[in-house]
Amino acid sequence: MAEQLTHLDDRFWNRLLKAIEEGQVVPIVGSQLLTLDDQNISQSLQQHVAKRVLEFNNVDTTAVNLTPHRELHEAVSMLKPTVNLQDLYGDIADALDAVTKEQNFKLPGSIEKLAAISSFKLLVTLTPDTLLAQALRKRVSVNEIVHSPNLPTSEASDLAIDWLKKPGEVNLLYLFGKAKSTPVFAIHDEDTLEYAHNLLSRGSNVPLRFIGELQQRGLLFIGSNFPDWLSRFLLRLTNQTRLADKKTRAWLVEDGNIREELALFLNGFSRETEIISELSPQAFIDELYSRWLVRNSPTAASDSAKQNQAPDPLSVAFFISYSRVTDLPAAEQLYQTLREQGLAENEIWFDRTAIEPGGDFQKLIFDGIHSCRYFLPLISKAADSFDEKFFYREWNAAIDRSKGISGREFVVPIILDEEYNPQGYVRVPKEWSDSIDFGYAPSGIADARTRQHLTKLIRELRRGEK
């Protein structure tokens, strides 16, 4: 039966994380995760947007009390009798833009942590904003799929048939539309009902392939805060058979106590649904991310023996050279980017030991430099402050090899600092800073240009261009 969990023990987390790592879980993200900090006060994105829309229409917001996480529906319902409903879509889109373009705006921490879990290849958002897409793009390219009955046919899309063959891309479904100046996204409950009906009746622009994948996977509903009827509907829509015969798992993470009627219904008719209410959606994501990081971080203690084994130098395509003392976290982030773009573990030389290598390992390092396709020196002010470190020997070996290479790239320097200034380093070789276009990955997070460049290099590698 549906179980209201009161203790999330290690067995629960291990089962969930294993399913996530196997690609069997899809997160479905609701409004409760979209919390912004404004002058040390946490407010939901909905609250910010609803307030702006009311102000646009000359409503005194100090006299209005809106239900948490239901603010937008209630604001629209309040304005609907006196305002052109068509205009409200544009007002809401403008309000979203205004909030996210404020000088001190930061993405919600929970959204950034969820987006950083690279095991998720399919994701669903129940809100029309682009915050999740923005967070995902910090590490990977995003294929946005929008379900909207009113979307022009030319803009409709679905999951690609070969989506599993695109390791450098994730797929994000906007289940109730994406904000624009026109009525192509849901702004109140009646809109949501129509979108739900369109999905159920297989109406206009329904992404059938994406829905089919949802029906075959476990679903992690996080902070949806939908009305009882809609929660039941979504569970049924994403199941191939009736809920009583559900074969896949579902988890409902809700802020506060779950509604009694919904809990009773799930207890009676959805055996594979677990209700999680002892943790807030934000706290749940914090715990999930920290546990996923321990299991998947290259520095995890359980993997230490494996990490200290060098790959076969002849298999190495990309050699990452960096200051282990100062830049390990950033280097790990860049390593994960290369893995997400399709490189196998043995195709990347990434030594994580902080001590100077011994003689035998030094030979393997230099063999790797002499046989790799691309040499990636990671540049930072912290590393540049050293006048003697082993990575300088790696750089010199790469410079020596590059003298025998003509007509193709070999050295691909990448700056890790927030400031992009290739000429601002004392010990970076001038033959690099004077003639090579440096990449940019602040804290190891590659920008769009650098990510595209790495993708190009990997494609050349796969084509066998030697």
Residue 250 to residues 28, 258, 372, Cα–Cα distance (Å): 10, 15, 45
Q: Are residues 114 and 150 in the same domain?
A: yes
- Shared domain for 30 and 178, answered yes or no, is yes
pLDDT score, position 308? 46
Residue 287 sits in the same domain as residue 363: no
The CA–CA distances, whole Å, from 168 to 86, 91, 143, 461 equal 38, 35, 11, 15
Does 82 lie in the same domain as 224? no
- CATH number of the structural domain spanning residue 24: 3.40.50
Does residue 112 share a domain with residue 95?
A: no
The answer to whether residues 454 and 397 belong to one domain is yes
- Regarding whether 199 and 260 lie in a shared domain, the answer is yes
Q: Report yes or no on 434 lying in a domain.
A: yes
Verify that 163 and 279 share a domain, yes or no: yes
Q: Is residue 298 part of a domain?
A: no
The pLDDT of residue 61: 85
pLDDT reported for residue 240:
65
Domain end position, chosen among 261, 292, 323: 292
Q: What is the pLDDT of residue 295?
A: 85
The number of distinct structural domains making up the chain is 3
What's phi and psi for 365, nearest 5 deg? -60, -50
Same structural domain, 96 and 147: no
Q: What integer pLDDT is reported at residue 122 of this predicted model?
A: 96
Of 47, 68, 100, at which residue does a domain stop? 100
- Whether residue 203 is found in the same domain as residue 81: no
User: Cβ(283)–Cβ(300) under 8 Å?
Assistant: no
pTM of the model: 0.64
Report if residue 255 sits inside a domain: yes
Q: Does 427 fall in a domain?
A: yes
CA dihedral (307, 312, 313, 316) positive or negative: negative
What is the chain's pLDDT, residue by residue, as a tens digit (466 residues)?
Answer: 444 444 578 899 999 999 999 999 999 999 888 888 765 567 889 988 999 999 999 898 888 888 888 899 999 999 989 999 889 999 999 999 988 888 788 888 899 999 999 899 999 999 999 999 988 888 778 899 999 999 888 888 999 998 887 777 899 999 999 999 999 999 999 999 899 899 888 889 999 999 999 888 988 999 887 776 677 777 777 676 666 666 677 788 887 655 666 666 666 565 667 788 778 899 999 999 989 988 886 544 344 444 445 555 566 899 999 998 888 888 988 998 998 888 888 889 988 654 444 556 678 888 889 999 999 999 999 999 999 899 999 999 999 999 999 989 999 999 999 999 999 999 999 999 999 999 999 989 999 999 999 999 998 888 764 4
The two tokens of residue 246 are 């559900």
Same domain, 18 and 148: yes
In a domain, 299, yes or no: no
For residue 306, the model assigns a pLDDT of 46
Vertex 29 angle, CA 219 and 232, to 5°: 55
* pLDDT in the model for residue 36: 81
Q: What is the pLDDT of residue 273?
A: 74
Decide which of 47, 79, 100 is a domain's last residue: 100
In a domain, 187, yes or no: yes
Kindly state whether residues 168 and 284 are assigned to the same domain.
yes
CATH for 366: 3.40.50.10140
DSSP 216: T
In a domain, 53, yes or no: yes
SS3 220: strand
**Domain range for 187:** 3-34+108-292
Contact between 134 and 107 under an 8 Å Cβ cutoff? The reply is yes
On whether residue 266 sits in a domain, the answer given is yes
User: 419-434: b or e for each residue (b if 16 or more CB lie within 10 Å)?
Assistant: eeebeebeebbeebbe
Half-sphere CA count of 16, side-chain side, radius 13 A: 23
Do residues 178 and 205 make contact, with C-beta atoms less than 8 angstroms apart?
no
